[in-house]
């Protein structure tokens, strides 16, 4: 049986994962890990992460700092024990869906998401 990337990163494997990070991860992997799921997520040029849950009209709300989210997504990949191919796939999805580079760039902050 092959374990897929979403299986390795699933919030069910990480009981201390915040609902907020689970929602963001669901957005990245195009899976629903929370109710409601995120309908929209944007990283602004000045480093803020804004999101809107599905089914909720209105403006995007600030949910995190980009640096903290980057650090948490990197730590999640390490904790999940991703191999090189899985890490590359994960980093590609994060880059495509969020515009955040996990491969290089500055090291993230110390806060949690």
Number of domains in the chain: 1
**What is the predicted pLDDT for the residue at 91?**
97
Burial of 103 (0-12, 13-18, 19+ CB in 10 A): exposed
The pLDDT of residue 66 is 97
Full residue range of the structural domain in which residue 42 is found = 5-98
CA distance 107 to 70: 8
Residue 105 lies in a domain: no
Asked if residues 105 and 95 have their Cβ atoms less than 8 Å apart, the reply is no
The helix/strand/coil state of 12 is helix
Per-residue pLDDT of the chain (113 residues; tens, 9 = 90+): 788 999 999 999 999 999 999 999 999 999 999 999 999 999 999 999 999 999 998 899 999 999 999 999 999 999 999 999 999 999 999 999 999 999 754 344 434 45
Residue 20 lies in a domain: yes
Using DSSP's 3-state secondary structure scheme, residue 25 falls into: helix
Q: Does 69 map to a domain?
A: yes
Contact between residue 43 and residue 30 where contact means Cβ atoms under 8 Å apart:
no
pTM summary value: 0.88
């Amino acid at each position: 049986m092959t374990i897929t990337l979403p299986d390795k990163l699933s919030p069910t494997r990480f009981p201390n994962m915040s609902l907020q990070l689970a929602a963001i991860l669901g957005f990245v992997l195009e899976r629903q890990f929370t109710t409601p799921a995120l309908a929209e997520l944007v990283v602004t040029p000045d480093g803020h992460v804004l999101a809107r849950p599905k089914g909720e009209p209105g403006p995007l709300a600030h949910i995190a700092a980009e640096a903290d989210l980057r650090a948490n997504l990197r730590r999640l990949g390490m904790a999940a024990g991703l191999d090189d191919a899985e890490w590359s796939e994960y980093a590609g999805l994060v880059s495509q869906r969020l515009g955040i580079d996990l491969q290089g760039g500055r090291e993230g902050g110390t806060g949690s998401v």
